[in-house]
Amino acid sequence: MTERRDFLSGAWDSVPTLPANVPFGFVAGAAAVQAGFSDLQAVAMSALIFGGASQLAAIDLLDSGSPLVIVVLTAVVVNLRYVMYSAAIAPYFQEFRSKWRLFASQFIVDTTFAIAVTEYERDPETDRLAYWLGVCATIYLGYVLGTAAGVVVGDAVPDGLQLDFAVPLLFLALLVPSITDEATGIAAAVGGFVAVAAAGLPMNVGIVVAALLGITAGALADVAEVGA
Protein backbone atom coordinates (compact mmCIF):
# COMPACT_ATOMS: atom_id res chain seq x y z
CA MET A 1 0.00 0.00 0.00
CA THR A 2 2.87 2.36 0.85
CA GLU A 3 4.54 1.61 -2.49
CA ARG A 4 1.38 2.45 -4.43
CA ARG A 5 0.84 5.65 -2.44
CA ASP A 6 4.41 6.85 -2.96
CA PHE A 7 4.31 5.93 -6.66
CA LEU A 8 1.18 8.03 -7.12
CA SER A 9 2.72 10.81 -5.01
CA GLY A 10 5.76 10.88 -7.29
CA ALA A 11 3.57 10.94 -10.37
CA TRP A 12 1.46 13.77 -8.97
CA ASP A 13 4.47 15.83 -7.85
CA SER A 14 5.76 15.69 -11.43
CA VAL A 15 2.60 17.06 -13.04
CA PRO A 16 3.64 20.75 -12.64
CA THR A 17 6.65 20.08 -14.88
CA LEU A 18 4.52 18.93 -17.81
CA PRO A 19 3.69 22.42 -19.21
CA ALA A 20 7.42 22.79 -19.89
CA ASN A 21 8.40 19.14 -20.34
CA VAL A 22 5.85 18.36 -23.05
CA PRO A 23 6.77 21.40 -25.23
CA PHE A 24 10.43 20.41 -24.82
CA GLY A 25 9.57 17.01 -26.33
CA PHE A 26 7.47 18.75 -28.98
CA VAL A 27 10.45 20.86 -30.05
CA ALA A 28 12.68 17.76 -30.21
CA GLY A 29 10.15 15.90 -32.36
CA ALA A 30 9.54 18.80 -34.74
CA ALA A 31 13.27 19.50 -35.08
CA ALA A 32 14.06 15.84 -35.81
CA VAL A 33 11.46 15.59 -38.59
CA GLN A 34 12.58 18.88 -40.12
CA ALA A 35 16.16 17.55 -40.08
CA GLY A 36 15.12 14.53 -42.14
CA PHE A 37 14.38 11.90 -39.50
CA SER A 38 11.43 9.60 -40.14
CA ASP A 39 8.48 9.82 -37.74
CA LEU A 40 9.50 6.54 -36.10
CA GLN A 41 13.13 7.59 -35.77
CA ALA A 42 12.17 10.89 -34.16
CA VAL A 43 9.97 9.26 -31.51
CA ALA A 44 12.45 6.43 -30.94
CA MET A 45 15.22 8.98 -30.38
CA SER A 46 13.31 10.51 -27.47
CA ALA A 47 12.22 7.14 -26.12
CA LEU A 48 15.74 5.70 -26.12
CA ILE A 49 17.90 8.75 -25.36
CA PHE A 50 15.54 10.79 -23.15
CA GLY A 51 17.90 13.75 -23.15
CA GLY A 52 16.33 16.88 -24.58
CA ALA A 53 19.29 19.26 -24.70
CA SER A 54 21.68 16.66 -26.11
CA GLN A 55 19.07 15.54 -28.63
CA LEU A 56 18.56 19.06 -29.93
CA ALA A 57 22.32 19.58 -30.18
CA ALA A 58 22.77 16.27 -32.00
CA ILE A 59 19.88 16.96 -34.39
CA ASP A 60 21.29 20.38 -35.25
CA LEU A 61 24.75 18.94 -35.93
CA LEU A 62 23.41 16.05 -38.01
CA ASP A 63 21.28 18.46 -40.00
CA SER A 64 24.36 20.57 -40.76
CA GLY A 65 26.33 17.52 -41.91
CA SER A 66 28.79 17.35 -38.99
CA PRO A 67 30.88 14.17 -38.60
CA LEU A 68 29.34 11.52 -36.38
CA VAL A 69 32.23 11.68 -33.91
CA ILE A 70 31.54 15.40 -33.35
CA VAL A 71 27.84 14.69 -32.84
CA VAL A 72 28.58 12.00 -30.23
CA LEU A 73 31.19 14.08 -28.39
CA THR A 74 28.86 17.07 -28.25
CA ALA A 75 26.04 14.96 -26.82
CA VAL A 76 28.42 13.56 -24.19
CA VAL A 77 29.62 17.02 -23.17
CA VAL A 78 26.08 18.37 -22.92
CA ASN A 79 25.15 15.43 -20.69
CA LEU A 80 28.19 15.64 -18.40
CA ARG A 81 26.02 17.23 -15.73
CA TYR A 82 24.33 13.85 -15.29
CA VAL A 83 27.57 12.51 -13.82
CA MET A 84 27.15 15.03 -10.99
CA TYR A 85 23.47 14.17 -10.62
CA SER A 86 24.30 10.47 -10.45
CA ALA A 87 26.92 11.00 -7.75
CA ALA A 88 24.51 13.15 -5.73
CA ILE A 89 21.60 10.71 -5.90
CA ALA A 90 23.68 7.54 -5.48
CA PRO A 91 23.34 7.45 -1.64
CA TYR A 92 19.55 7.34 -2.01
CA PHE A 93 19.78 4.45 -4.49
CA GLN A 94 22.05 2.27 -2.34
CA GLU A 95 19.10 0.36 -0.89
CA PHE A 96 17.93 -0.69 -4.38
CA ARG A 97 18.85 -4.04 -5.84
CA SER A 98 21.50 -3.89 -8.57
CA LYS A 99 19.01 -4.40 -11.40
CA TRP A 100 16.80 -1.61 -10.06
CA ARG A 101 19.75 0.76 -9.65
CA LEU A 102 20.70 0.13 -13.28
CA PHE A 103 17.13 0.65 -14.46
CA ALA A 104 16.54 3.74 -12.32
CA SER A 105 19.75 5.39 -13.51
CA GLN A 106 18.45 5.47 -17.09
CA PHE A 107 15.91 8.13 -16.11
CA ILE A 108 18.17 10.60 -14.32
CA VAL A 109 17.51 13.98 -15.91
CA ASP A 110 17.23 17.50 -14.48
CA THR A 111 13.58 17.23 -13.49
CA THR A 112 13.52 13.69 -12.11
CA PHE A 113 16.64 14.39 -10.05
CA ALA A 114 15.38 17.68 -8.61
CA ILE A 115 11.92 16.38 -7.68
CA ALA A 116 13.15 13.11 -6.18
CA VAL A 117 16.01 14.54 -4.12
CA THR A 118 13.75 17.25 -2.73
CA GLU A 119 11.27 14.59 -1.58
CA TYR A 120 13.95 12.28 -0.18
CA GLU A 121 15.34 15.09 1.96
CA ARG A 122 11.88 16.20 3.03
CA ASP A 123 10.60 12.77 4.07
CA PRO A 124 13.15 10.00 4.79
CA GLU A 125 10.27 7.52 5.19
CA THR A 126 9.27 7.77 1.52
CA ASP A 127 9.56 4.52 -0.46
CA ARG A 128 12.35 5.83 -2.67
CA LEU A 129 12.03 3.37 -5.53
CA ALA A 130 8.25 3.68 -5.79
CA TYR A 131 8.45 7.47 -5.66
CA TRP A 132 11.22 7.53 -8.26
CA LEU A 133 9.25 5.31 -10.63
CA GLY A 134 6.21 7.56 -10.26
CA VAL A 135 8.26 10.66 -11.04
CA CYS A 136 9.95 9.05 -14.02
CA ALA A 137 6.77 7.57 -15.47
CA THR A 138 5.06 10.97 -15.63
CA ILE A 139 8.01 12.91 -17.00
CA TYR A 140 9.14 10.22 -19.46
CA LEU A 141 5.67 9.68 -20.89
CA GLY A 142 5.07 13.42 -21.11
CA TYR A 143 8.32 13.92 -23.00
CA VAL A 144 7.80 11.04 -25.44
CA LEU A 145 4.16 11.98 -26.09
CA GLY A 146 5.27 15.57 -26.61
CA THR A 147 7.77 14.31 -29.19
CA ALA A 148 5.04 12.34 -30.95
CA ALA A 149 2.91 15.49 -31.08
CA GLY A 150 5.85 17.44 -32.49
CA VAL A 151 6.29 14.80 -35.19
CA VAL A 152 2.62 14.95 -36.16
CA VAL A 153 1.98 18.70 -36.15
CA GLY A 154 5.46 20.22 -36.00
CA ASP A 155 5.41 21.37 -39.62
CA ALA A 156 2.21 23.30 -38.95
CA VAL A 157 3.76 25.46 -36.21
CA PRO A 158 4.41 29.02 -37.48
CA ASP A 159 8.09 29.89 -37.74
CA GLY A 160 7.58 32.91 -35.47
CA LEU A 161 6.27 30.80 -32.58
CA GLN A 162 9.20 30.01 -30.31
CA LEU A 163 8.54 27.04 -28.03
CA ASP A 164 12.09 26.99 -26.64
CA PHE A 165 11.06 29.45 -23.91
CA ALA A 166 9.51 26.52 -22.02
CA VAL A 167 12.93 25.05 -21.22
CA PRO A 168 14.37 27.88 -19.08
CA LEU A 169 10.98 28.31 -17.41
CA LEU A 170 11.08 24.66 -16.38
CA PHE A 171 14.51 25.03 -14.82
CA LEU A 172 13.49 28.21 -12.99
CA ALA A 173 10.45 26.41 -11.56
CA LEU A 174 12.74 23.68 -10.23
CA LEU A 175 15.40 26.07 -8.94
CA VAL A 176 13.38 28.51 -6.84
CA PRO A 177 11.92 26.00 -4.32
CA SER A 178 15.37 24.47 -3.77
CA ILE A 179 16.89 27.77 -2.54
CA THR A 180 16.43 27.32 1.18
CA ASP A 181 19.52 28.92 2.73
CA GLU A 182 22.49 31.16 2.03
CA ALA A 183 24.63 28.38 0.57
CA THR A 184 22.03 27.29 -1.99
CA GLY A 185 21.34 30.93 -2.83
CA ILE A 186 25.03 31.57 -3.52
CA ALA A 187 25.27 28.38 -5.57
CA ALA A 188 22.27 29.43 -7.68
CA ALA A 189 23.58 32.97 -8.15
CA VAL A 190 27.10 31.92 -9.14
CA GLY A 191 25.86 29.12 -11.38
CA GLY A 192 23.37 31.41 -13.11
CA PHE A 193 25.89 34.20 -13.65
CA VAL A 194 28.52 31.86 -15.07
CA ALA A 195 25.96 30.10 -17.28
CA VAL A 196 25.04 33.44 -18.89
CA ALA A 197 28.66 34.59 -19.16
CA ALA A 198 29.78 31.27 -20.66
CA ALA A 199 26.83 30.85 -23.02
CA GLY A 200 29.07 31.34 -26.05
CA LEU A 201 31.45 28.47 -25.27
CA PRO A 202 31.44 25.65 -27.84
CA MET A 203 29.43 22.43 -27.39
CA ASN A 204 27.44 23.92 -24.48
CA VAL A 205 30.40 23.32 -22.16
CA GLY A 206 29.37 26.51 -20.34
CA ILE A 207 26.59 24.54 -18.66
CA VAL A 208 29.11 22.17 -17.08
CA VAL A 209 31.45 25.02 -16.06
CA ALA A 210 28.55 26.90 -14.46
CA ALA A 211 27.38 23.82 -12.57
CA LEU A 212 30.86 23.06 -11.21
CA LEU A 213 31.50 26.65 -10.12
CA GLY A 214 28.03 26.97 -8.61
CA ILE A 215 28.48 23.78 -6.60
CA THR A 216 31.94 24.87 -5.47
CA ALA A 217 30.69 28.30 -4.37
CA GLY A 218 27.79 26.75 -2.49
CA ALA A 219 30.04 24.22 -0.76
CA LEU A 220 32.50 26.92 0.31
CA ALA A 221 29.65 29.07 1.61
CA ASP A 222 28.30 26.10 3.57
CA VAL A 223 31.71 25.38 5.09
CA ALA A 224 32.14 29.04 6.04
CA GLU A 225 28.69 29.09 7.64
CA VAL A 226 29.39 25.96 9.68
CA GLY A 227 32.75 27.30 10.80
CA ALA A 228 31.34 30.67 11.82
Tens digit of each residue's pLDDT (9 = 90 or more) over 214-225? 878 878 887 776
Q: Is the pLDDT of residue 15 over 70?
A: yes
Confidence of residue 128 (pLDDT cuts 50, 70, 90): very high
Residue with the larger pLDDT of the pair 94 and 226? 94
- Whether this model's pTM surpasses 0.85: no
- Which pLDDT belongs to residue 51? 84
Residue type, position 26, single letter: F
Name the residue among 14, 28, 103, 95 with its Cα closest to residue 60: 28
pLDDT bin (cut points 50, 70, 90) of residue 103 is very high
Q: What is the mean pLDDT of residues 178-200?
A: 80
Q: How far is 109 from 188, CA to CA, in rounded Å?
A: 18
In contact, 141 and 16? CB cutoff 8 Å: no
C-beta of residue 101 within 8 angstroms of C-beta of residue 107: no
Say which range, 116-120, 128-132, 172-176, has the weakest mean pLDDT.
172-176
- Burial readout 49-76 (b: 16 or more C-beta within 10 A, e: otherwise): ebbbbbbbbbbebbeeeeeeeebeebbe
pLDDT of 121 above 70: yes
Q: How confident is the model at residue 164 (pLDDT cuts 50, 70, 90)?
A: low
Please say if the pLDDT value at position 53 is more than 80: no
- Rounded Cα distance, 56 and 33, in Å: 12
Position 154 scores a pLDDT of 67
Does 68 have pLDDT greater than 90? no
Reported as a pLDDT band with limits 50, 70 and 90, residue 44 is: very high
CB 141 within 8 A of CB 112: no
Give the distance from CA 22 to its chain's centroid. Answer: 13
Q: DSSP letter at 201? A: S
How many angstroms separate the CA atoms of 71 and 63, rounded?
Answer: 10
pLDDT in tens, 131-152: 999 999 999 999 999 999 999 8
Q: What percent of the chain has pLDDT over 70?
A: 84
Parse the chain into domains and list their residue ranges.
2-161, 179-228
Model confidence at 162, in pLDDT bands (50, 70, 90)? low
